[in-house]
């Protein structure tokens, strides 16, 4: 993660979970946002394993928003998922198989 986003992560879209999510949480910048849309790494596991560094969400005052793809079919809910991710600038996305990290300036408009 340090190589892909050396200055940290502002927005992270994740549908893998496990080590990928833990790595992203460890690289969050102040007021970062994580959007969860599934957790492929745990679909067939009997015992769920969560990230061990959730405390970093408090330290960075970051937020997680989770949604299910099926909710996208309900147009009344699509705006909340899109507003959480913000709008990355052209050329600022770093696409990786484990998710997408954007480097966009962001200041929270409300608590």
Q: Residue 88 belongs to a domain with what CATH number?
A: 3.40.50.720
4: in domain: no
88: in domain: yes
Mean pLDDT over the full length of the chain: 75
Residue from 19, 18, 56, 15 nearest 36 by CA:
15
pTM for the model: 0.64
110: in domain: no
Q: Is the pLDDT of residue 99 over 50?
A: no
Q: What pLDDT, on a 0 to 100 scale, did the predictor assign at position 21?
A: 93
Contact criterion met (CB below 8 Å) for 24 and 1:
yes
Number of folded domains that form the chain? 1
66: in domain: yes
108: in domain: no
What is the domain extent for residue 40?
Answer: 9-102
85: in domain: yes
CA-based radius of gyration for the chain: 14
% of residues, the chain, pLDDT over 70? 63
| Rounded Cα–Cα distance for residues 80 and 76 (Å) | 9
């Amino acid at each position: 993660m340090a190589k892909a986003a050396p200055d940290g992560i502002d927005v992270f879209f994740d549908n893998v979970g496990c080590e990928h999510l833990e790595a992203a949480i460890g690289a969050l910048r102040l007021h970062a946002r994580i959007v969860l849309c599934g957790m492929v790494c745990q679909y067939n596991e009997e015992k769920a394993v969560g990230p061990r560094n959730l405390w970093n969400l408090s330290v960075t005052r970051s937020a997680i928003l989770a949604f299910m793809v099926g909710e996208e079919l309900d147009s009344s809910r699509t705006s909340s998922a899109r507003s959480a991710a913000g709008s990355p600038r052209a050329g600022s996305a770093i696409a990786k198989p484990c998710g997408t990290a954007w480097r966009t300036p962001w200041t929270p408009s409300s608590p």
